[in-house]
Amino acid sequence: MSEGRGLLIIDPSVVYAEEEATEIVARGWAGTVRVRHPGLDPEESVDATTPYDHDAVVILGSRASVHDDLPWLRGLSAWLAPIVSGSVDVPLLGVCFGHQLIAWLAGAPVGPARVDGAKVEGVVETRVRASRLAPGRTRLRVVASHRETVLAVPDGWTVAGDRADAPVDILEHPTRRTFSVQFHPEAREGFALARGIAVADIDARVREDGDRVLSSFRELALRQ
């Protein structure tokens, strides 16, 4: 990619790298794009010693839980905490596990999405409340794949979207460019195949709404 603004994508997968997701998230960024896989490769760990030399950060999903006591997760949390608190100003978007980790670091509880512990998986509709990630939209058709969810709003943050299995489906900080979503705006056919979701459900509306969220974050991140 050309010289310019840099995006860091953190893929915290613990089974296999989410290459399709990374490619979708990276679309449209004019600068360099770097990817790290702290859950798969210790040499790609992110911790308190890692520089904040990025113009934006996106944290993807994972089968890990914010409650897991894992070395790579402790390191990532230590690095991420100053961004979440606002002491380091880097535009940030969390997706699914990334959403839960941001909310957890901000002081919100994270727990089972359903009483029986079953996984929420498939195409769902979320209600939007004036989100900067979905300007002008009142509903989004999106892909969900999660067993846990954010159970309450951290102090000082705003719920900008909700649905039955995710009362905090879109979380935003009102004065900073920090956002997170429980759903997967990057989910496409490969994501569906890997999780047993009907590929036909990844229709034009799902792709359009997912692209809108990602492009809105990109525009907000690059705004001076």
* Pairing outcome for strands 33-36 and 56-59: unpaired
Could you tell me which of 163, 143, 146 has the C-alpha nearest to residue 203? 143
Is 219 a catalytic site residue? no
End-to-end CA distance of the chain: 21
Query: How many C-beta neighbours within 10 Å does residue 60 have?
Result: 24
Is 96 a catalytic site residue? yes
Q: Which residue(s) pair with 172 in the sheet?
A: 158, 179
Catalytic residue among 18, 96, 99, 172: 96
Is 208 a catalytic site residue? no
Tell me the Ramachandran region of residue 75: left when phi exceeds 0, alpha when psi lies from -120 to 50, beta otherwise: alpha
Catalytic residue among 18, 148, 172, 186: 186
Please tell me the distance from the alpha carbon of residue 29 to that of residue 105, in angstroms, as a whole number: 27
Specify the DSSP class assigned to residue 119: P
Please tell me the distance from the alpha carbon of residue 46 to that of residue 57, in angstroms, as a whole number: 12
Beta strands in 60-104 (DSSP E): 92-95
Which residues are catalytically annotated?
96, 184, 186
